[in-house]
Chains A and B, each alone.
Chain A
Amino acid sequence: MIFDWNVVWYAVPLLAHGVVMTLQVSVVAGVLALAIGLLAGLASLSSFRPLRWLMRGYVDFIRGTPLLIQIFLVFFALPVVGVRLPEYWAGVAALALNSGAYISEIVRGSVGSVEKGQSEAALSIGMTRTGVLWWVLLPQAWRPMVPPLTNDLITLTKNSSLLSAISVYELTRAGQAIIATHFAPFEIYLLLALYYYLLISVLSWASRRLERSLPQW
């Protein structure tokens, strides 16, 4: 088997465009996912039962169905009921909703694992449940959230390759386009794997720095 370096050198600049798009999709979807996850996680801790049920249903649906189907639902099924998103935003929305569900479970778990005596002490000085959450539980929950959040953001970044299925011109799609014209699947898929690996490494490194910079007690 001959490794074709020429196609590699040819592909590197072309793939740069895809890298930018993958980064952009991941960052936008990641920020949205964090917002959705935080809100949904807090909602699932609410004392209002219907809201908790709603959140459980959401998480259950996301966990119980494949991401690819969720992407197709947003892109192909929503237009049937009158919501037509361009492929970029359909992809971002599907990724954010998917990751947001998992993140909400991290938020719920971290806040819930703060020792019960902390809530009781805060209640005993006259705090409301909202005050307890805001001033006592959340400040203690940030740090333990970082490692599992990193995992989910890494997963989100890698999952963004599925958007190639709805023609978002991100890294995977860009690679496929080159393969279609040059028929070099071995070289290009290997190159794509390397690109993803480097992206994820940067994310892991940043997460470890963030975790170290957060206060510990």
Chain B
Amino acid sequence: MVSPPMLPPILAAQGIRKAFAGRSVLNGIDLEVRQGEAVTIIGASGSGKTTLLRCLNWLERPDAGDIRIAGATMGRSGSLVAGERELARQRRLFGFVFQRFNLFPHLTALQNVALGPRRVLGQPRAQAEARAEQELRRVQLGDHMHKPPSQLSGGQQQRVAIARALAMDPKVMLFDEPTSALDPELVQEVLDTMRALAAEGMTMLVVTHEMRFARHVADRVVFMADGLIAEQGAPEALFNAPTDPRLQRFLRHLEPTA
């Protein structure tokens, strides 16, 4: 897949810092993502990958730094601090897919996906459900629309979660270890869905331990260590000629599975 290097970044994070109870997790992250780019973030657990993702859409409020997405600055409204409604509007510029799916158990798959268009965008029910149906078909779940999450497999649930995010027309999709909670035989269907999304030109940022995905689908791989981006580049270069010793060690440990 050819990435379009000429486009300006659709997402630019600058100097992101975050600490929990005095323990510093992110130490000033700078990251730019261009429109249509698929970027994977790898690194040992505890390196801050998930926190970075959650800071980008302000599920966690960064302690410092700016996040600009599609013309907006997260948490700001002009020179003022964004109010709750404004922040909610900014947050939906991102789609977020959680490790544990976090589907709404009291709603069917269709209602899960339609909830955003209906209650956030205020669309009439028929329109919201038509959109939800379209997104569910896009992730190959047209036959399971009226089932509650408890009747779906993990892989199906995660695809519903992807459809739920897509139904809000996000500018950037964030995936937080989307296959880590799945049984091994269900991983591939989710990765296939993500691969198809990338091929359609969706801008994606994926935290993952699936090195095959990082190697074959990503336009760029970012390696995080100690709350910083230690190394980044095209997958071939990064996997075949790593320079940072921490990355070299990380890849050595993975070798059997990669």
Binding site for B on A (CB under 8 A): 115, 117-118, 120-129, 131, 135-136, 139-140, 215, 217
Contacts and interface: CB of A to CB of B under 8 A. Distances in A.
Contacts of B168: 125-126
B92 A125 contact: yes
A121 B116 contact: no
* CB-CB nearest 8 A-B residue pairs: A126-B92, A121-B102, A124-B96, A125-B116, A117-B102, A217-B105, A126-B120, A128-B88
Interface string B94-128: 11101010111110000000011001100000000
Contact of B150 (A124, A127, A217): A217
A126 B150 CA distance: 24
Contact of B59 (A115, A124, A126): A124
Nearest to A127: B120
Nearest to B97: A124
Nearest to B96: A124
A127 B164 CA distance: 13
Given A129-B84, A217-B150, A124 B104 contact: no
Contact of B85 (A123, A128, A135, A136): A128
Nearest to A116: B102
Contacts, number: 71
Contact of A126 (B100, B103, B116, B148): B116
A117 B106 contact: no
B49 to A, nearest CB: 17
A136 B59 CA distance: 17
23 contacts: A117-B100, A117-B102, A120-B102, A121-B161, A121-B164, A123-B91, A124-B96, A124-B165, A125-B95, A125-B115, A125-B116, A125-B120, A125-B164, A126-B91, A127-B116, A128-B84, A128-B85, A128-B88, A131-B120, A140-B104, A140-B105, A217-B106, A217-B149
B3 to A, nearest CB: 26
Contacts of A122: 104, 115
B98 A135 contact: no
B84 A136 contact: no
Nearest to A140: B106
B158 interface: no
A122 B96 CA distance: 10
Contact of A139 (B59, B102, B106, B150): B106
A124 B95 contact: yes
Contacts of B212: none
Contacts of B149: 217
Interface in B134-162: 148-150, 161
